């Protein structure tokens, strides 16, 4: 008991299970000295510079990089799996307007669990590949878009679908890189939620639906949309500086800054910031970029806080023409590969995740029934 109290005292001091190692995992390193962020041993910088999202999804799910032939087959397989079952399309259409796209994706995954339940003994990648392929179709269908099924990559499929025409190569590559950056990040809140659900021997669709719910919150994936709303609320860098200082004085959080694990920078932020800078080719874009940079400076000067992946992803997505309300859903399209890798890893060596709490409620109390039963 004394040992439990001692351990708990440490956990409580920082809160939120910060610094607690919850399990072994061979998928990703986050902020480990000398390694930084890496997926299955490959640095995020190398992957972002030269790989594609499909290659990374294969790597996360299968453990090794695909050969050129495997990658070609995998791309073809994902293209096949993009098709929406008509029953799912019909059910998505029956959801009343007004729900967020995160709600639609969560419901879509859940419905798919009814229509295509996991089969006993099914190859572990079946559900993973299906979800990687079909989630963008759910999003596009719900937006009333035609599905450009012929597109080779997820990035091209998404952008082509949203724009209604083939996107320029540069935008395609920016979205591809952002999907790589968003694909995996160890035991973040949504991934951990998925692992908790799967640890009860529940099904993958339930775990993914839970993970989508966890990702939706502004302290996690929802931060990219909030960051955009903040950036576009300022007309110029001076206004942004005054506005952010004001918010900090009121003890408000600035979304897109800070991180639970990184302490001086988020290695993904520089990569996506470079892309945002590269795509800022109009007066309006350059103004927005200058506003973002000024916010970054104020946050560092005032709080020693740095932008996380969500901050510059917000304007990179704006420059790619992605509507703000789809930023967090696009995060889902990438992170599904990481979630499914963790679901498979948890299953391979499962132990029910069930911590304990320290009771702080009332002491023993006498129960007095509200109505005394008449005894005959
Ligand atoms: N803006 C202003 N202050 C902040 C911010 C921020 N973005 N982040 C942390 N702080 C401050 C807190 O107010 C707190 O100050 P205090 O000690 O004076 O009370 C201190 O820094 C510690 O913050 P916590 O929230 O307790 O630290 P935690 O490790 O729990 O936070 C988190 C991590 C949730 C990411 C936090 O930095 C935050 O809320 N950031 C904004 C949301 C965000 O950008 N989320 C995206 C995460 S990355 C991703 O999902 C890809």
Distance (Å, whole) CA 10 – CA 82: 47
Query: What is the predicted pLDDT for the residue at 31?
Result: 86
Tell whether the model's pLDDT for residue 232 goes beyond 80.
Answer: yes
Distance (Å, whole) CA 38 – CA 27: 8
- 3-state SS string over 55-116? HHHHHHHHCCCCCHHHHHHHHHHHHHCCCCCHHHHHHHHCCCCCCCHHHHHHHHHHHHHHHC
Distance (Å, whole) CA 305 – CA 28: 24
| Closest-CA residue to 195 (of 20, 16, 351) | 351
* Residue 119 binned pLDDT confidence (cut-offs 50, 70, 90): confident
In the predicted model, what is the mean pLDDT of residues 271-285? 97
User: What are the residue numbers of the active site?
Assistant: 220, 259, 310
Q: Which residue puts its alpha carbon closest to atom 50 of ligand 1? A: 220
Distance (Å, whole) CA 287 – CA 243: 16
pLDDT in tens, 183-217: 999 999 999 999 999 999 999 999 999 999 999 99
Q: Where are the domains of the chain?
A: 26-218+326-348, 223-320
Percentage of residues of the chain with pLDDT beyond 70? 99
**CA 254 to centroid of ligand 1, rounded, Å:** 8
Query: What is the predicted pLDDT for the residue at 82?
Result: 98
**CA 257 to centroid of ligand 1, rounded, Å:** 7
Tell whether the model's pLDDT for residue 54 goes beyond 90.
Answer: yes
Q: Output the DSSP codes for 5-16.
A: HHHHHHHHHH-T
* Residue 271 binned pLDDT confidence (cut-offs 50, 70, 90): very high
Query: What is the predicted pLDDT for the residue at 9?
Result: 77
Tell whether the model's pLDDT for residue 134 goes beyond 80.
Answer: yes
Tell whether the model's pLDDT for residue 376 goes beyond 60.
Answer: no
Note the pTM of the prediction, 2 decimals: 0.95
Tell whether the model's pLDDT for residue 292 goes beyond 80.
Answer: yes
Q: Decide if 266 contacts 258 (C-beta within 8 A).
A: no
Q: Which residue puts its alpha carbon closest to atom 46 of ligand 1? A: 220
Residues 6+ apart with CB under 8 A from 59: 39, 40, 42, 51, 65, 66
Percentage of residues of the chain with pLDDT beyond 90? 89
Q: Which atom of ligand 1 is nearest to the CA of 308?
A: 48
Superfamily designation of domain 223-320? Cytochrome P450-Terp, domain 2 (1.10.230.10)
Strand partners of residue 38? 29, 43
* Residue 348 binned pLDDT confidence (cut-offs 50, 70, 90): very high
CB-CB neighbours of 80 under 10 Å: 11
Query: What is the predicted pLDDT for the residue at 122?
Result: 78
Residues with CB under 6 A from ligand 1: 16, 18, 219-221, 223, 253-260, 303, 305, 308-310
Tell whether the model's pLDDT for residue 375 goes beyond 70.
Answer: no
Query: What is the predicted pLDDT for the residue at 80?
Result: 97
Q: Decide if 85 contacts 116 (C-beta within 8 A).
A: yes
Query: What is the predicted pLDDT for the residue at 35?
Result: 82
26-218+326-348 placed in CATH 1.10.580.10: yes
Mean pLDDT across the chain: 95
Q: Which residue puts its alpha carbon closest to atom 20 of ligand 1? A: 258
* Residue 279 binned pLDDT confidence (cut-offs 50, 70, 90): very high
Start-to-end Cα distance in the chain: 48
In the predicted model, what is the mean pLDDT of residues 108-137? 93
Of 38-42, 58-62, 218-222, 343-347, the range with the lowest mean pLDDT is 218-222
């Amino acid at each position: 008991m004394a040992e439990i109290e001692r351990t708990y005292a440490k956990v409580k001091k920082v809160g939120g299970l910060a610094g607690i190692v919850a399990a072994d995992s061979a998928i990703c390193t986050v902020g480990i000295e000398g390694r930084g962020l890496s997926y299955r041993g490959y640095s995020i910088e190398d992957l972002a510079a030269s790989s594609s999202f499909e290659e990374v999804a294969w790597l996360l799910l299968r453990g090794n990089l695909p050969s050129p032939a495997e990658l070609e087959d995998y791309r073809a397989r994902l293209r096949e799996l993009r098709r929406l079952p008509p029953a799912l399309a019909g059910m998505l259409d029956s959801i009343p307007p007004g729900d967020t796209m995160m709600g639609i994706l969560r419901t879509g995954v859940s419905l798919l669990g009814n229509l295509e339940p996991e089969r006993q003994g099914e190859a572990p990648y079946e559900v993973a590949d299906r979800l990687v392929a079909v989630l963008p179709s759910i999003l596009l269908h719900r937006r009333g878009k035609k599905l450009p099924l012929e597109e080779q990559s997820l990035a091209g499929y998404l952008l082509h679908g949203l724009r209604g025409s083939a996107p320029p190569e540069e935008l395609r590559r920016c979205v591809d890189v952002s999907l790589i950056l968003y694909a995996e990040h160890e035991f973040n809140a949504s991934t951990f939620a998925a692992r908790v659900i799967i640890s009860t021997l529940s099904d993958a669709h339930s775990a993914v639906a839970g993970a989508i719910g966890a990702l939706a919150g502004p302290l996690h994936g929802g931060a990219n949309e909030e960051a955009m709303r903040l950036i576009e609320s300022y007309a110029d860098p001076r206004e942004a500086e005054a506005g952010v200082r004001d918010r900090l004085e009121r003890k408000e959080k600035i979304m897109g800054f800070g991180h639970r694990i990184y302490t001086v920078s988020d290695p993904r932020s520089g990569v996506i910031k470079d892309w945002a800078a590269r795509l800022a080719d109009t007066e309006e874009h350059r103004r927005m970029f200058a506003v973002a940079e000024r916010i970054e400076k104020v946050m560092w000067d005032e709080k020693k806080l740095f932008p996380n992946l969500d901050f510059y992803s917000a304007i990179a997505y704006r420059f790619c023409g992605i509507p703000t309300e789809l930023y967090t859903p696009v995060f889902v399209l990438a992170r599904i590969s990481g979630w499914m890798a963790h679901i498979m890893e948890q299953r391979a060596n499962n132990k029910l995740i069930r911590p304990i709490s320290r009771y702080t409620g009332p002491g023993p109390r006498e129960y007095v029934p509200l109505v005394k039963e008449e005894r005959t």
